[in-house]
Structure formats: structure tokens, C-alpha cells
Amino acid sequence: MATIRKRKLKTQISFQVQVRRVGSELITKSFLTKEDAIKWARKTERELDQGAFQDYQESDKVTLGNLFERYIAEGKHKKKRQWRYEEYRKNQLLEDELAKVSLLKVSTKHLAEFRDRRLKKVKAATFNKDFNFISVVIATALQDWGYSLPNNPCKFFKRVPEGNPRDRILESWEEIKLINACRQSHNKYLSKIIEFAIETAVRQGELLNIQYDDIDFNNTQNEVKDIKFTSAKKPLKLLYRIIDMTTNEGNIVLDFFAGSGTTAHACMQMNRRWIAVEQMDYIEDITKERLKKVINGEQGGISKDVSWQGGGEFVYFDFNLL
């Protein structure tokens, strides 16, 4: 049963609708005209009869900032490996006016305005991570915390293109110049840190947390704590040890996931024959070009250990052209 109450405010009159049903919480909403109040009351009662009514009152009372804080307070973010970054991201978002918008009212317009503000301070990749956090928090509110929305605006909002990724590795002369410059530093560890970073493509935060005992040199996947270099170069020196222990000169080494060509690189410098297979397009610009530099006598990686002077050859096939 719906009741409509006329309310006199300081500057205007409003009409408050109250809908009561046994077994349901009181549903209320205010309107400036009685006609709108009657229409909403009839619509709400009809939806209740049909079991199709969605109560958005709680969603209107809570802000995105409230949800961000609850998400962190409940430890939902700790399922992720780099969960501490989520706490920093929450603090950054709380400083933005988006955090003051209620869950019910948030729209793609609010997200677009947040995007424009954020991109003045950070790059596209950072904004996309911010947006991912917002999207996950809203999804958690709808799925786990009992909030309701007519629709989730994050499903209609596009992430920002992040531009072209890095498409080359250091030239031999660039690597030598960088290492030599690092050796001039008062920090005696700097050159070694840079050499390790070049070989593994490990990120700065992960690199600074690594201790010597964390590295299993007998692990062919080169796992460092919970860090797996699944999308980066494998260290040449690690592959040198593996190939040296398991093969003899002239043996054939097969690598079905050639990537940037590190295995083939090591094989060429250790007088092993090799077959490398890769399906990604970067083999043309990165892998092939890297191996050509090895033939030309590049001096990075294990070159000095094996007294590499260059030489050799390889045949490259692109089966897409057949």
C-alpha cells in the first residue's frame, strides 16, 4: 500500500511516497509534483507484484569512496600478488572528486571526467589500472555486498589505448655504455643491478626486493620468490649453464617458444645447432634482428665468457607466406 505525504520545505513543497509491503523494507522517495509521486508509486507497486522491483536506496546512500575503503578494509585486494599497489591506488582515488559520487549516480560521464583529470598527471597504463580497480570494486559491491544498480557503467566505458610497447632491446654499444657509466657510481652494486635487470627484464620493485638466496639457479624457469619471468627474456648466463650441463658441442637444441631468441643466442655462442619456433609477429623485428647482431659479434651477455668474436648463420622461414 502506497501513501503520499505533502511536505513543506523552506523554499518549496515536495511529495514523499512510502510503499509498505509485508516482508519488505519501507520504500520511500520524494518528488516535486504529486503527479510524479503517483506515477512512481503505481510503478513500484506493480513491480513488487511482479517480483521485478529493484531497491536502489542503499546504492544512493553510499559513495564510491566508501566502497573503495571497504574493499581494502575487508582485504579483498590481497588475493592479488601486488596487493600493496591497490592500497596506494585507493588513497589516490579518495583524493579525487569521483570518490564523492554515490554508487547509484555514477555514470560513464563521471568516469570520462575522471579519465580526463587523471591523464593530466599519469600515463594511460596507470589510468587503466585505476579504472580496473574501480570496476572490480563496483562489481564486488553488486555481487557480494547486496547493492543494486540499473546497469554497471564500467561495462560501457572503454579503457585508454596505451600506445606502442617497447619494440627493441639495447644495442650492444648502448649496453656497454650504460654498464660503464654505472661502474663510475659510488654505489658498487649499481652496475650489477643493471646487468641483472637487462638479462631478466625484471621490474624495479621486484628487483629491489630480491635477495641472493631467493634465486634458484637450478630452476630452468628461473623463479625468484613468486616472480616468474613468463613474458621476459631468460638470463643468458642461466641458459649457458643449462645448455653446458645437458648438451655437447654440435648437439641440436629445440626451443618451441623462442620469444626474443635468448636460447638461440646462447646456442650460437656455444657451438650448438638449434631450432627456434615462435608464432608472434615480433620475431621479425626483435628475434631475427637480435640473432643477426650475435653473428656480427655483439659483446653483451656471455660473449666475454666464451670469447665470442661473431660468426655463424641461420635460416629463417615464415610459414604464413607458404
- Render pLDDT for 122-132 as a digit per residue (tens, 0 to 9): 888 889 999 99
What per-residue confidence (pLDDT) applies to 24? 60
What per-residue confidence (pLDDT) applies to 15? 83
What per-residue confidence (pLDDT) applies to 72? 92
pLDDT over threshold 70, residue 48? no
What per-residue confidence (pLDDT) applies to 200? 66
C-alpha 52 chain-centroid distance: 37
**Tens-place pLDDT, residues 176-224:** 899 899 999 998 888 888 887 776 666 676 677 666 665 555 544 444 3
Rounded to 5 degrees, what are φ and ψ at 275?
-130, 125
Cβ-based neighbours of 3, under 8 Å, separated by 6 or more? 17, 18, 20
pLDDT over threshold 90, residue 117? yes
Identify the residue whose cell numbers are 655483439.
298
What per-residue confidence (pLDDT) applies to 289? 85
Among 53-57, 187-191, 226-230, name the most confident range. 187-191
Among 192, 156, 195, which Cα is nearest to 175's? 195
What per-residue confidence (pLDDT) applies to 33? 84
DSSP character string of 35-68: HHHHHHHHHHHHHHHHT-----HHHHH-BHHHHH
CA–CA separation, 173 and 180 (whole Å): 11
Q: Is the pTM of this model over 0.85?
A: no
| pLDDT level of residue 232 (50, 70, 90 thresholds) | very low
**Grid cell digits, residue 19:** 510503499
CA pseudo-torsion sign 177, 182, 185, 191: negative
Report angle CA 153, 158, 164 to the nearest 5 degrees. Answer: 160
**Mean pLDDT value of segment 283-301:** 82
| pLDDT level of residue 226 (50, 70, 90 thresholds) | very low
**Tens-place pLDDT, residues 71-113:** 999 988 887 767 888 888 899 999 999 999 999 889 999 999 9
Cβ-based neighbours of 226, under 8 Å, separated by 6 or more? 81
